[in-house]
Amino acid sequence: MSSTLTSLVKDTAVYGLSSMFGRFLNWLLTFVYVRILIPEEFGQMTNLYAWTAILMILLTYGMETAFFRFANKEDRPEDVYSTTLWSLGVSSLIFVLLGWLFLDPLASALQITQHQDLLVYLLLIVASDAFMAIPLGYLRYEQRPWRFMAVRMSFVLATIALTLFAFYVLPYLGEQIPLLGELHPREHALEYIFGINLVSNALQMLLLLPTLRKATGRFDGKLLRAMLIYALPMLLLGLAGNFNNQADKILFPLLFDDPHYAHAQLGIYGACYKLAVVMVLFTQAFRYAYDPFIFAEKKKGEEAARRAYSSAMTYYVLFTLFIFLGVMSYIDVLKLLIAPAYYPGLSVVPWIMAGQLMFGVYFNLSLWYKVTDRTHWGTILSIFGCVLTVAIIVLLAPRYGFMACAWASVVANGGVMLVSYFLGQHYYPVQYQLKKLMGYTLLTVLLYGMMTFGATSFGLPLLQLSINSLLLLLFVGIVLRLEVPSSAISMLRQKLRRR
Q: What is the pLDDT of residue 463?
A: 83
Q: Tell me the average pLDDT across 26-31.
A: 83
Dump pLDDT digits (tens) for 140-168: 777 777 888 888 889 989 999 999 999 98
Dump pLDDT digits (tens) for 185-241: 778 889 999 999 999 999 999 999 999 888 888 888 888 898 888 888 778 777 877
Q: Is residue 33 pLDDT above 80, yes or no?
A: yes
61 torsion bin: left (phi>0), alpha (psi -120 to 50), beta (else): left
From 87, 43, 45, 46, select the one nearest 64 (Cα to Cα): 87
Q: What is the pLDDT of residue 1?
A: 45
DSSP state of 169: I
Q: Tell me the average pLDDT across 412-436.
A: 92
Whole-structure pTM value = 0.82
134 torsion bin: left (phi>0), alpha (psi -120 to 50), beta (else): alpha
Q: Tell me the average pLDDT across 302-327.
A: 87
What distance in Å separates the CA atoms of residue 321 and residue 325, rounded to the nearest whole number? 6
Q: Is residue 7 pLDDT above 60, yes or no?
A: no
For the beta carbon of residue 120, count every other beta carbon within 10 angstroms.
17
* Mean pLDDT for all residues in the chain: 84
From 270, 15, 31, select the one nearest 167 (Cα to Cα): 31
Helices (H), 252-276: 259-275
- Cα–Cα distance list, 255 to 39, 44, 125, 266 (Å): 18, 14, 27, 11
Q: Is residue 440 pLDDT above 90, yes or no?
A: yes
> Binning pLDDT at 50, 70 and 90, where does residue 8 land?
very low
Q: Tell me the average pLDDT across 454-483.
A: 84
Q: What is the pLDDT of residue 2?
A: 43
> Binning pLDDT at 50, 70 and 90, where does residue 327 land?
very high
For the beta carbon of residue 410, count every other beta carbon within 10 angstroms.
20
Q: Which residue has the higher pLDDT, 149 or 294?
A: 149
Dump pLDDT digits (tens) for 57-84: 999 988 887 887 788 777 788 888 899 9
Q: Residue 466 is which amino acid?
A: S
- Cα–Cα distance list, 56 to 126, 130, 325 (Å): 6, 6, 34
Q: How far is CA 287 from the centre of its chain?
A: 11
Q: What is the pLDDT of residue 477?
A: 92
- Window from 250-264, 288-302, 444-458 with minimum mean pLDDT: 288-302
Percent of the chain at pLDDT above 70? 87
Q: Is residue 458 pLDDT above 70, yes or no?
A: no
Q: What is the pLDDT of residue 56?
A: 92
What distance in Å separates the CA atoms of residue 185 and residue 201, rounded to the nearest whole number? 20
Q: Is residue 24 pLDDT above 80, yes or no?
A: no
Counted residue by residue, the chain has a size of 499
Q: What is the pLDDT of residue 438?
A: 95
Q: What is the pLDDT of residue 490?
A: 54
Is there a contact between 416 and 408 (Cβ–Cβ < 8 Å)? no
What distance in Å separates the CA atoms of residue 104 and residue 126, rounded to the nearest whole number? 18
> Binning pLDDT at 50, 70 and 90, where does residue 269 land?
very high
> Binning pLDDT at 50, 70 and 90, where does residue 255 land?
very high
SS3 state of residue 32 = helix
Q: Tell me the average pLDDT across 83-100.
A: 94
What distance in Å separates the CA atoms of residue 203 and residue 76, rounded to the nearest whole number? 30
From 227, 54, 9, select the one nearest 134 (Cα to Cα): 227
Is there a contact between 259 and 114 (Cβ–Cβ < 8 Å)? no
